[in-house]
């Protein structure tokens, strides 16, 4: 049975929706309890004391009451507003995508400090520099932490190690790379061209610290190959595309 009572935690507001005339329903990524749903009562009133501490894309020190179905925000103090995000349309679009991805792919109420700190680091770096490389690094790191890392060490079907001139494909259905021999007509529907260069970039982005990612020099063709595979791989994990991703992809080309 779910234990009820007050708890204090750092919380990132990753989604906010109207719940009633004056309330909001928040999706929070918390340090202590993972992803939770919480009501902020009366927060849409102009004189609400909670108003400044429940805005989307903010880190807050929150006191919540854990209920049977929904938690309730009783106090909230904003610790970091990531103000630069709101001054740049590209940055706020990237933050919207990042928070939507966090919301849809992270299971509810599963505490994971590594996920929480990556989510926070993502907002930090996006408020400083928004680029496709940063977005791809965040996606790769999040997928790996959550156990969705694809097999990149060779062919996921036969185990063959790839050589320079091999024709490689990335199979979202198989969860990794395929050699030409294993790319049958049945799996080609969910397979996308890949290269040794794209494999190297994927691995480098996984290892690299986020604030250093934009130092990498990636050929546009390689970036396109990597991006297509990642987009389709994420769709395969979620069973549907994220609404904000198409907008972000357009924005990044501007």
What pLDDT does residue 110 have? Answer: 92
3-state secondary structure of 98: helix
One DSSP character per residue, 48-92 reads: -TTGGGS-TT-EEEEEEEE-SS-EEEEEEEEEE--GGGGG-HHHH
What pLDDT does residue 2 have? Answer: 54
Angle between helices 243-252 and 220-238 (to 10 degrees): 170
Comma-separated ranges of CATH 1.20.1440.120 domains in the chain:
103-252
**Residue 19: C-alpha distances to residues 14, 24, 41, 44, 250 (Å):** 16, 5, 9, 10, 31
d(CA 4, CA 26): 19
- 189 has which bridge partners? none
Question: Are the beta carbons of 41 and 90 closer than 8 angstroms?
Answer: no
Comma-separated ranges of CATH 2.40.50.140 domains in the chain:
5-81
pLDDT tens sequence for the chain (254 residues): 456 799 999 999 999 999 988 999 999 999 999 999 999 999 988 888 888 889 999 999 999 999 888 999 999 999 999 999 988 999 999 999 999 999 999 999 899 999 999 999 999 999 999 999 999 999 999 999 999 999 999 999 999 999 999 999 999 999 999 999 998 866 778 899 999 999 999 999 999 999 999 999 999 999 999 999 999 999 999 999 999 999 998 888 87
What pLDDT does residue 189 have? Answer: 82
What pLDDT does residue 1 have? Answer: 45
Q: Give Cβ neighbours of residue 106 (< 8 Å, ≥ 6 apart).
A: 29, 34, 35, 112, 115, 146
CATH class for the domain made up of 5-81: mainly beta
The H or E element spanning position 33 is none
Check: CATH 1.20.1440.120 for 103-252? yes
d(CA 108, CA 111): 9
Q: Give Cβ neighbours of residue 231 (< 8 Å, ≥ 6 apart).
A: 241, 245, 249
d(CA 199, CA 87): 35
d(CA 111, CA 32): 6
3-state secondary structure of 105: helix
- 65 has which bridge partners? 6, 72
**Separation of CA 202 from chain center:** 16
């Amino acid at each position: 049975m779910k234990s009820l009572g007050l708890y204090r935690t750092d919380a990132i507001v990753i989604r906010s929706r109207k719940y009633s005339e004056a309330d909001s329903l928040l999706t929070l990524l918390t340090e202590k309890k993972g992803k939770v749903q919480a009501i902020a009562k009366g927060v849409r009133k102009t004189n609400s004391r909670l108003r400044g501490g429940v805005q989307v894309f903010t880190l807050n020190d929150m006191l919540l009451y854990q209920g049977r179905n929904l938690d309730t925000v009783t106090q909230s103090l904003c610790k970091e507003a990531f103000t630069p995000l709101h001054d740049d349309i590209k940055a706020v679009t990237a933050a919207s995508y990042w928070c939507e991805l966090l919301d849809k792919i992270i299971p509810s109420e599963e505490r994971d400090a590594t996920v929480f700190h990556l989510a926070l680091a993502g907002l930090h770096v996006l408020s400083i520099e928004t680029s496709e490389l940063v977005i791809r690094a965040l996606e790769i790191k999040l997928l790996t932490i959550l156990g969705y890392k694809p097999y990149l060490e060779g062919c996921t079907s036969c185990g063959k190690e790839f050589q320079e001139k091999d024709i490689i494909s990335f199979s979202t259905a198989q969860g990794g790379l395929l050699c030409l021999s294993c790319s049958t007509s049945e799996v080609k529907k969910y397979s996308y061209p890949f290269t040794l260069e794209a494999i190297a970039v994927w691995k480098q982005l996984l290892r690299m610290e986020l604030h250093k990612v934009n130092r990498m020099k990636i050929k546009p063709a390689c970036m396109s190959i990597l991006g297509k595979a990642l987009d389709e791989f994420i769709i395969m994990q979620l069973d549907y595309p994220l609404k904000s991703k198409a907008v972000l992809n357009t924005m990044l080309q501007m």
